[in-house]
Amino acid sequence: MNLLASKDDLIRWLDSLLQERIVIAPVRVQEQTMFQPISKVEEIAFDFDNTTLSPKGWFLPPTEALFTVQRDDGQVNLVPALVERDAVVFGLHPCDARGIALMDSSFLQEPSDALYRERRSRTALIGLACRQALPECFCTSMGSAPDDPSHMDILLTEVKDGYIVQVVTEKGKALVPKGLAKYKGKVPTPPKLQAIPTMEVTSAMRGLFNDPYWERLADRCLHCNVCAYVCPTCYCFDVRDYSDKGKVERVRSWESCQSPGFSLTAGGYAPRTTKGERLRQRFSHKFLYFPERFRDVACVGCGRCVKACPVNIDIREVISDLQQLTEVKSGS
Amino acid sequence: MAPESPFIPCLATLKMAIQLTPDIKLLSVELEDPDIRASFDYKPGQFALLSAFGEGEAPFGIVSLPQQRDGLEFAVRRIGTVTRALQELEPGDTLGVRGPFGNWFPLEDYEGKNIIIIGGGIGMAPLRPVINRILERRDNYQELLIINGARTPQDLVFQSEFPTWTKAPRTRLELTVDRGDEQWKGRVALVPDVVKELAPSPDNAIAIICGPPIMIRFTLAKLRNLGFKDNQIVTTLEAKMKCGLGKCARCNIGEKYVCQDGPVFTLEQISQFLEQP
Amino acid sequence: MDMELIQQIRDKARNLLEEGTVEGVIGYERASDGLTARPFFAYEPAAAERLIFDETCIHDLVKYLLDKKGKKMAIVVKPCDSRAINLLLNEEQIKRDKVFIIGVSCPGVVETSWNRRSETLQARCRTCQLSKPLVYDFLVGREVARQAEEETYSDITEAKAIANKEEFWLEQFGRCIRCYACRQVCPGCYCPVCFAERLEPLWVGIRIAPEENRVWQTMRTFHLAGRCIGCNECERVCPVDIPLSLLNRKLEKDVKELFAFQAGLDPEESPPFATFKKDEKLEFGA
């Protein structure tokens, strides 16, 4: 059953959530929209296309301490990092909720990642259905949709009089304010997206593993980490110790398979040394290794990498190239 | 609330550090918690992540055997910041241990076979528990040939154990160095050439090999020439690791996560996923 | 689009590939948005037909020459990009006889991002004094006398007037996600191991946080003092819009004033911080 929240209802609702929880919401920062913890509801940008970074950073922050090392009289004590408060991620689109669900596959698999698990269980997702599809969007080809409520706790859809409130989970139900009217109107038709063919991308990836395609594609790749860092499903990380003025922490930070040192051992061995091998790793992980482990391909079609890549390595084009090359190879 | 984090190491005390070679130390480590100590079971080939707090964590093969109740042993070669910090620890200092991780050498499956162990430099470290396990159950195996190579005589690890190894029945230890010195009366040859020279038979045999990539590459070629099939050659891979939990993806090579699917693989498995032929 | 110019590039590229003069041609092709340009590597003569040139060809392609060391490559070079060629020649990172330069007389490029192109020239183009590349083997396009605006560094003057600069920059660096796109795209950033990745000694901590990011960005900028050729690629590729040009241009201005030097104008002249003159007297030091 759908409810209706007027714009004022929503503001009041968010305000009350903010009293008891951390609220992470889209905020305008210069020309961009970023998910950030807010201190006032007025900071929220309700009117945005897409955020520069996905909300994954709330669950896997760019940097976080895993534990602190304390020393008293030579006695070492490891103090685990805490997740202190409940939270709400507000305003995420369906593709991003799917991204979080895909991250769950790895981080919640035993032995599960404690901090991630704790944040995940203490955070509710109140999403916003997309009003429009951007030219770089292809979520419907990747198992999501502009109005997909899956993986959300609550999905809001903007209508003339406010927002349709679709309660998806028990966790969401507990957050809905009392007294919202039932919504009896029509649910708006979601925007149409151009579908890209994604059939058999995993087997195409496997079949073209040693194809010269990758070195050619990587010619223009800069091997920066932009694609990985804007991606809602890229989750590789680095762990190192950080010491500052006697304080010692074990810190985890984002890292990407595109950087040359990613898999370089202290002894000097690297499994991937060429540009093509490194770029292939990104697509192999998304289309081959991840689905082999967790069934789904690790892409949600949010289009962020398409938009952010400084040299236009367009993941949709890569998928279509793989399919064409596979057809050529099989002689059909 | 503090979640039970798999990233938090068990605290341990350095009991003893023995300089094995100019850059390799054998660290003997005792877990502080007696319950964890009692339940910490592992098999030859498994590894653990050692923490030098303030510097970081790195993976090391466990080179002792589980019944050695006096502690876990690790051979640490000084090569980066973490290994240097581990080497600088004094007996009594605290370090962290996470593990055991990974798979192991399926030594039970190799019973009744001739075993050829080929190690180069620090690559001998993960092979030491294999040798000692085989010697412990010597009757279960046929001939044991150990080829241990290093750059110089000083760089040969586990020299104090050589007499035990040589005295064991049906066991042959062949040492070789790339560069000899005045005292060295032994062989001066590269490991792959020693393999060629000794020409172990592939019949009913398993070759277990670990060493620097270049040694492995050339040794594999020699073994194949001798008629070894890829499923008769077993190795343990070194990979960058940060979590040991199959999450950080640093050790991802091909479809495998070395920390979980490995580090022990047959050449047959590796040739299917190694990204560079 | 100047089809005549594009045809000149294509013809030259095809010839070079057909004759085997070069192994590949680095130029531009249309991007997947159908609107802007992206780098393109042509290896077969037929691929030359994909080459384009227009005001969306903003990328400085010279960096790619570092990936192709030892191979003879042709490269499409705008006047501004030719300064990167000179920089790398001076620093002995590329060999002149390994590069065939297809120079383009460029009327300036516009700001673009994926699926978006503006109509106004980039700021750096408005003050660009170069009507043709400083170095080339083959020149395409009509050389037009440029009516460049005077370089006044008004942006630097404005940035200097920011009330709380510390706060301003920490806020900017706070957004940095250390993707290193700025470094990866920079023709002057080519250290085999960047200080940011060195553990011994450790220059920058692992944390992606304002303080560490500031160390990263400050050192990055200073490594380019007197070496930055002003292509502004770093600012273009930054996914979080950090105004890196303010940092680079501040140093460019200082180096110009102190040493009367601008990077990449002459392959024979080394950057001030790569040279030592015994009789050099600045306003500081002994």
Using 50, 70 and 90 to split pLDDT, how confident is the model at B250? Answer: confident
Provide, rounded to the nearest whole percent, the portion of chain A with pLDDT above 90. Answer: 86
How many angstroms separate the CA of residue C258 from the nearest CA in chain A? 34
Q: Return the DSSP state at A287.
A: I
pLDDT of residue C285: 52
Q: How many domains does chain C have?
A: 2
- Domain of residue A29, residue span: 2-60+82-182
- Whole-complex ipTM: 0.94
CB of B81 within 8 Å of a chain C CB? The answer is yes
pLDDT of residue C275: 82
How many angstroms separate the CA of residue B152 from the nearest CA in chain C? 27
CB of C200 within 8 Å of a chain B CB? The answer is yes
C94 and C116 within one domain: yes
Question: What does the pLDDT average to over A186-206?
Answer: 88
Question: pLDDT per residue over A248-265, tens digit each?
Answer: 999 999 999 998 888 888
Residues of C whose CB is below 8 A from A62: 177-178, 208
Answer whether residue A255 is part of any domain: no
C113 and C30 within one domain: yes
pLDDT of residue A100: 98
The Cα B58–Cα B55 span in angstroms is 10
Answer whether residue A246 is part of any domain: no
Q: Has residue B187 got a pLDDT over 90?
A: yes
The Cα A119–Cα B229 span in angstroms is 49
Using 50, 70 and 90 to split pLDDT, how confident is the model at B2? Answer: low
Question: pLDDT per residue over A290-322, tens digit each?
Answer: 999 999 999 999 999 999 999 999 999 999 999
Side-chain half-sphere CA neighbours of C101 within 13 A: 26
A206 and A167 within one domain: no
Strands A87-92 and A22-29: parallel
Contact C9, C62 (CB under 8 A): no
Tokens 């900017």, located at residue: C172
How many angstroms separate the CA of residue B274 from the nearest CA in chain A? 8
Answer whether residue A245 is part of any domain: no
- Domain of residue C225, residue span: 154-274
Of C116, C140, C164, which one is at a domain's C-terminal end?
C140
A305 and A229 within one domain: yes
Residues of B whose CB is below 8 A from A292: 255
C262 and C159 within one domain: yes
CB of B68 within 8 Å of a chain C CB? The answer is no
CB of B94 within 8 Å of a chain A CB? The answer is yes
pLDDT of residue A332: 58
Residue A155 CB partners (closer than 8 Å, separation 6+): A94, A126, A127, A128, A129, A147, A149, A166, A168
A270 and A145 within one domain: no
Contact A310, C236 (CB under 8 A): yes
CA-nearest residue to C199 within chain B is B81
Q: Has residue C286 got a pLDDT over 50?
A: no
> Residue A90, Cβ neighbours under 10 Å: how many?
27
Using DSSP, state whether C173 is helix, strand or coil. Answer: helix
Q: Has residue C23 got a pLDDT over 60?
A: yes
C235 and C162 within one domain: yes
Residues β-bridged to residue C104: C140
Answer whether residue A205 is part of any domain: yes
Answer whether residue C92 is part of any domain: yes
**Closest in C32, C36, C41 to A220, CB measured:** C41
Angle of helix B213-225 versus helix B191-198 axis, rounded to 10: 20
Mean pLDDT value across chain A: 94
Of C140, C169, C202, which one is at a domain's C-terminal end?
C140
Q: What is the 3-state secondary structure (H, E, C) of C190-209?
A: CCCCCHHHCCCCCCCCCCCC
- Whose CA is closest to C57, among C138, C1, C141? C1
Residues of B whose CB is below 8 A from A82: 1-2
A213 and A157 within one domain: no
Which tops the pLDDT comparison, C200 or C220? C220
C16 and C92 within one domain: yes
Question: What does the pLDDT average to over B81-86?
Answer: 95
Using 50, 70 and 90 to split pLDDT, how confident is the model at B253? Answer: confident
pLDDT of residue B1: 47
Which tops the pLDDT comparison, C55 or C271? C55
Q: How many domains does chain A have?
A: 2
Answer whether residue A282 is part of any domain: yes
A167 and A23 within one domain: yes
The Cα C68–Cα A275 span in angstroms is 11
Question: pLDDT per residue over B40-79, tens digit each?
Answer: 999 999 999 999 999 999 999 999 998 876 789 999 999 9
C211 and C84 within one domain: no
Best mutation target, C198, C199, C202, to test chain B (most B CBs within 10 A): C199
Provide, rounded to the nearest whole percent, the portion of chain B with pLDDT above 90. Answer: 82
Q: Has residue A146 got a pLDDT over 70?
A: yes
Answer whether residue A266 is part of any domain: yes
Q: What is the separation of C-alpha C97 from the centre of its chain, rounded to a whole number of angstroms?
A: 21
**Low-confidence winner among A129-138, A219-228, C69-78, C268-277 (lowest mean pLDDT):** C268-277
Dig out the tokens for A160 from the structure: 């003339």
Answer whether residue C181 is part of any domain: yes
Question: What does the pLDDT average to over A270-282?
Answer: 92
Q: Has residue A52 got a pLDDT over 50?
A: yes
CB of C199 within 8 Å of a chain B CB? The answer is yes
pLDDT of residue C281: 67
pLDDT of residue C284: 60
**Dihedral of alpha carbons B125, B130, B134, B137, sign:** positive
Residues of A whose CB is below 8 A from B239: 263, 265, 269, 271
**Closest in B7, B54, B243 to A248, CB measured:** B54
C175 and C52 within one domain: no
A273 and A170 within one domain: no
Using DSSP, state whether C147 is helix, strand or coil. Answer: coil
Answer whether residue C281 is part of any domain: no
Q: Has residue A327 got a pLDDT over 60?
A: yes
C82 and C181 within one domain: no
pLDDT of residue B276: 60
Q: Has residue B3 got a pLDDT over 60?
A: no
Residues β-bridged to residue A44: A27
Using 50, 70 and 90 to split pLDDT, how confident is the model at C142? Answer: confident
**Closest in A117, A236, A265 to B248, CB measured:** A236
Q: Has residue B277 got a pLDDT over 60?
A: no
CA-nearest residue to C242 within chain A is A30
Best mutation target, A251, A262, A265, A288, to test chain B (most B CBs within 10 A): A265
Q: Has residue A235 got a pLDDT over 90?
A: yes
Question: What does the pLDDT average to over B215-238?
Answer: 94
Report CB contact under 8 Å: A263, B6.
no
**Dihedral of alpha carbons C117, C119, C124, C128, sign:** positive
The Cα C197–Cα A253 span in angstroms is 13
Question: pLDDT per residue over C205-258, tens digit each?
Answer: 889 999 999 999 999 999 999 999 999 999 999 999 999 999 999 999 999 999
Residues of C whose CB is below 8 A from A52: 239-240
**Low-confidence winner among B95-99, B220-224, B239-243 (lowest mean pLDDT):** B239-243
Of A155, A182, A209, which one is at a domain's C-terminal end?
A182
Best mutation target, A68, A71, A72, A78, to test chain B (most B CBs within 10 A): A78
> Which residues 165-204 in chain C show a CB within 8 A of chain A?
175, 177-181, 183-185, 193, 197
C171 and C109 within one domain: no
A178 and A206 within one domain: no
Residues of A whose CB is below 8 A from C114: 136, 306-309, 312
Dig out the tokens for A212 from the structure: 């010269």
Contact B15, B30 (CB under 8 A): yes
**Closest in B53, B212, B251 to A241, CB measured:** B53
Answer whether residue A68 is part of any domain: no
Provide, rounded to the nearest whole percent, the portion of chain B with pLDDT above 70. Answer: 97
The Cα A271–Cα A278 span in angstroms is 9
Residues of B whose CB is below 8 A from A109: 246
CB of A107 within 8 Å of a chain B CB? The answer is yes
How many angstroms separate the CA of residue A207 from the nearest CA in chain C? 24
Of C111, C140, C169, which one is at a domain's C-terminal end?
C140
Answer whether residue C149 is part of any domain: no
Q: What is the per-residue DSSP string for A222-275?
A: ---SHHHHH-SS---EEEEEEEETTEEEEEEEE--TTSTTTT--TTS--S--SH
Residues β-bridged to residue B60: B48
Best mutation target, A51, A134, A222, A306, to test chain C (most C CBs within 10 A): A222
Angle of helix C210-223 versus helix C165-175 axis, rounded to 10: 100
Q: Return the DSSP state at A145.
A: -
Burial class (CB in 10 A: 0-12, 13-18, 19+), B108: exposed
Residue B53 CB partners (closer than 8 Å, separation 6+): A69, A76, A241, A248, B94, B95, B96
Answer whether residue C233 is part of any domain: yes
CA-nearest residue to B79 within chain C is C200
Question: pLDDT per residue over B129-186, tens digit each?
Answer: 999 999 999 999 999 999 999 999 999 999 999 999 999 999 999 999 999 999 999 9
Best mutation target, A225, A244, A256, A312, to test chain C (most C CBs within 10 A): A312
Report CB contact under 8 Å: C185, A309.
no
